[in-house]
Amino acid sequence: MWLMALFTFREAWRKKVALIAGALTLAFLILYGTGLHFITRDMVNTANPTATAASYYAMMQAVTLFVLGIYLASFLAAGLAVLAAVGSVAGEIENGTLYTLAVRPLSRRDLLLGKFLGLAAMLVTYAALFFLALAGLVYWQTGLVIPGLVPALGLFILEPLVLLAVTMLGTTRLSTLGNGVLAFALYALAVVGGMIEQIGALVESTAAIYTGVVTSLILPADAVYRRLVATVVDRLPAGNGQDIPRFINPQSMLGPFGSQSTPSNWMLVYTLVYIGILLAAAVYIFNRRDV
Amino acid sequence: MAVIEAWNLTKIYGRQVACREICLSVEEGQIFGLLGPNGAGKSTLVKMLVGLVYPTAGEAKVAGYAPQDIRGRRQVGFLPENFRLHGWMKGEELLTFHARLAGLDNRAASRRAHEVLELVGLAGEGRKLVANYSKGMQQRLGLAAALVGDPRVVFLDEPTSALDPLGRRQVREILLALKEAGKTVFLNSHLLSEVEQVCDRVAIINRGTVVAAGRLDELQAGPATVAIRLAGLTGELVAELRRRYPELQLEGDRLTLALGGREEIADLVARLVAGGCRIYEVRPGHSSLEDVFVHLVREGEQVCG
């Protein structure tokens, strides 16, 4: 399994998947950093956020920009997860590269999990660097150290892994194209469901909130993002007690990009179990299919 | 000792029967040829034997284990038809990786990779990216990958399809060298001459069913031809013979007949003599594998059609 994982990681590296994703991400970071610079140029230093109304607003502005950056970065990480894994079984059968591997003294479980681990290693590296680059840019331009940096980083890494597990399951049964369409459709469903849930929380619509919960159960990728936002924003002080009352919730300032309706710890447990079950199902299907 | 065995191996895709109740037994150290027209079910059979495809019914054992068993796979090498190798790797690197998967440690894998590169005539090409190899070179590299784990049983599905005559000859030499080394080779090919030159035993498959199997000389001993130079052949006798041998040809004093078997020659000659003929020459025809193949495949088509 580890040989297969190393092989897959090297494949992603040598096929320049990581390089192309890295170049696009760099372009994104340059654009984001430029925007961040001009938007926050006149902001007051946020080192002491509770001191004045102006600095509190500045802090919220910095957090909002960070959250938006993370929101967009999630798309890129999810896209990379889907594109990297979309043909890892189906594509290799279609182009005939799987035959020589599948007859080696290597169980299909090890072959599949090796591929998952190799791609996961690439995605974890990519997502961690991306997240730290965003947090670094925000710190550089605004002086704000992202609260809950380490748990937020963990959650950011988890998000593409959910998409990776879904795509690995799909590739054991569907064609490359069909699997890609399904994975992106599910991701779109989760994102839209997440938006509906947050708007539902803002307007206090239980039905809308449940809609989001259901889509999160189908694909918990957006739920992980919401939990990430909560991890960061819930560590911020409430209003500064001067011109901003203390009962003002910083989440409400983020609107549909925030986490008014925050996924529970159980949702995180569900996400981890979800990944495990999907991988087990992928192994089950791959074990029984003709190659 | 049989190293490849199949009992009633059947594969059905929806309503299409790819293989039907195939029974095979290949002795260790033999080169076994599987022949059949396109779409006969050859590749499906090979894929079932190497564990890529699950049979709908029946059972198989290779090197004493079920095809999916990892213990058996350690002893099996496979060159698929219509395969592609990972183009982003260098030839040498690819073979080392396959050798590692086959269970060799890093140093042994690297050494073995060099050995098989040389064996298939790619020494000096190992540092090139596989994507830059020609089709023929990729075919050789695929053969090297099949052999890199030093397998006891090698399945080769159309191993020479992309090779020039020189490459084909080299593959034949490799096959014979494998046999010398006591390996078993299961050769799936539609190139009859190739099979005829290297195989000890042959099975002919048509429409998913084995229609003939045995040693080459046994198969060739089946339907036979005979050419007889004679005089005194009457029209009446020709008509009688034509009823029994519809493919009779008469050119001058030369009579050619397709027989059910060589044992019929003596009776035929006796009948001709009894009919007043003078026999000058009797030349039994050698039935080539191609004759046998065409005969069996056509026979199958007539039965099914």
Q: Please check whether residue B222 is in contact with residue B211, taking contact to mean a CB–CB distance below 8 angstroms.
A: no
Q: Find which of B86, B132, B147, B153 to mutate to test the A interface (most A CBs within 10 Å of its CB).
A: B86
Interface contact flag, A96 B84, Cβ < 8 Å: yes
Q: What is the pLDDT of residue B38?
A: 84
Is the CB of residue B52 less than 8 Å away from at least one CB of chain A? yes
Interface contact flag, B101 A3, Cβ < 8 Å: yes
Interface contact flag, A99 B83, Cβ < 8 Å: yes
B146–chain A nearest CA distance, Å: 8
pLDDT at B305 over 50: no
pLDDT at B299 over 90: no
A98–chain B nearest CA distance, Å: 8
Q: Which residues from chain B sit within 8 angstroms of residue A101, using beta carbons? A: 101
B193–chain A nearest CA distance, Å: 27
Of the two residues B79 and B285, the one the predictor is more confident about is B79
What's the pLDDT band for B304 if we cut at 50, 70, 90?
very low
Q: What is the pLDDT of residue A123?
A: 95
Interface contact flag, B80 A99, Cβ < 8 Å: yes
Interface contact flag, A11 B88, Cβ < 8 Å: yes
User: pLDDT, tens digit, for every residue of B147-202?
Assistant: 999 999 999 998 888 788 888 888 888 888 889 989 999 999 878 878 888 898 99
Vertex A110 angle, CA A104 and A114, to 5°: 105
Of the two residues B253 and A242, the one the predictor is more confident about is B253
What is the rounded distance in angstroms from the CA atom of residue A29 to the CA atom of residue B170? 56
Q: What is the pLDDT of residue B71?
A: 92
CB atoms within 10 A of CB B180: 9
What's the pLDDT band for B22 if we cut at 50, 70, 90?
very high
Q: Find, in chain B, the residue whose alpha carbon is nearest to that of A106.
A: B70
What's the pLDDT band for B247 if we cut at 50, 70, 90?
confident
Q: Which residues in chain B (126-145) have CB-CB distances under 8 A to chain A? A: 142, 145
Q: Which residues from chain A sit within 8 angstroms of residue B157, using beta carbons? A: none
What's the pLDDT band for B303 if we cut at 50, 70, 90?
very low
What is the rounded distance in angstroms from the CA atom of residue B239 to the CA atom of residue B176? 49
Is the CB of residue B171 less than 8 Å away from at least one CB of chain A? no
Q: Find which of A103, A106, A283, A287 to mutate to test the B interface (most B CBs within 10 Å of its CB).
A: A103
Token pair belonging to A242: 């001067």
User: pLDDT, tens digit, for every residue of B26-50?
Assistant: 999 999 999 888 888 899 999 999 9
Interface contact flag, A288 B70, Cβ < 8 Å: no
Q: Which residues from chain A sit within 8 angstroms of residue B53, using beta carbons? A: 290-291
Q: Which residues from chain B sit within 8 angstroms of residue A106, using beta carbons? A: 70, 73, 101
A74: nearest Cα among A172, A219, A175, A200: A219
Interface contact flag, B101 A106, Cβ < 8 Å: yes
How many distinct helices (H) and strands (E) make up chain B? 11, 13
Q: Please check whether residue A197 is in contact with residue A208, taking contact to mean a CB–CB distance below 8 angstroms.
A: yes
- Comparing CB atoms, the residue among B51, B82, B88 nearest residue A14 is B88
Q: Which residues from chain A sit within 8 angstroms of residue B50, using beta carbons? A: 103
Is the CB of residue B98 less than 8 Å away from at least one CB of chain A? yes
B194–chain A nearest CA distance, Å: 24
Q: Cα-Cα-Cα-Cα dihedral of B84, B86, B90, B94, to 10°?
A: -90
Q: Which DSSP symbol is given to A221? A: H
Interface contact flag, A100 B51, Cβ < 8 Å: no
A289–chain B nearest CA distance, Å: 7
Residue type, position B73, single letter: R
Q: Which residues from chain B sit within 8 angstroms of residue A11, using beta carbons? A: 86, 88
Owner of token pair 């005969």: B295
Q: Find, in chain B, the residue whose alpha carbon is nearest to that of A3.
A: B101
Coil, helix or strand at residue B119: helix
Confidence check on the interface: ipTM exceeds 0.90, yes or no: no
Query: Can you give the pTM of this predicted structure?
Result: 0.83
Q: Please check whether residue A222 is in contact with residue A194, taking contact to mean a CB–CB distance below 8 angstroms.
A: yes
Q: What is the pLDDT of residue A166?
A: 97
Q: Please check whether residue B167 is in contact with residue B160, taking contact to mean a CB–CB distance below 8 angstroms.
A: yes
Q: What is the pLDDT of residue B280?
A: 93
Of the two residues A52 and B231, the one the predictor is more confident about is B231
Q: Find which of B43, B76, B88 to mutate to test the A interface (most A CBs within 10 Å of its CB).
A: B88
Q: Which residues from chain B sit within 8 angstroms of residue A15, using beta carbons? A: 88
Is the CB of residue B65 less than 8 Å away from at least one CB of chain A? no
How many distinct helices (H) and strands (E) make up chain A? 11, 0
Across chain B, mean pLDDT equals: 87
Interface contact flag, B78 A100, Cβ < 8 Å: yes
Q: Which regions of chain A are under pLDDT 70?
A: 42-54, 238-248
What is the rounded distance in angstroms from the CA atom of residue B305 to the CA atom of residue B301? 5
B50–chain A nearest CA distance, Å: 7
A113–chain B nearest CA distance, Å: 15
Domain boundaries, chain A: 2-288
Q: What is the pLDDT of residue A239?
A: 64
Q: Find which of B69, B101, B106 to mutate to test the A interface (most A CBs within 10 Å of its CB).
A: B101
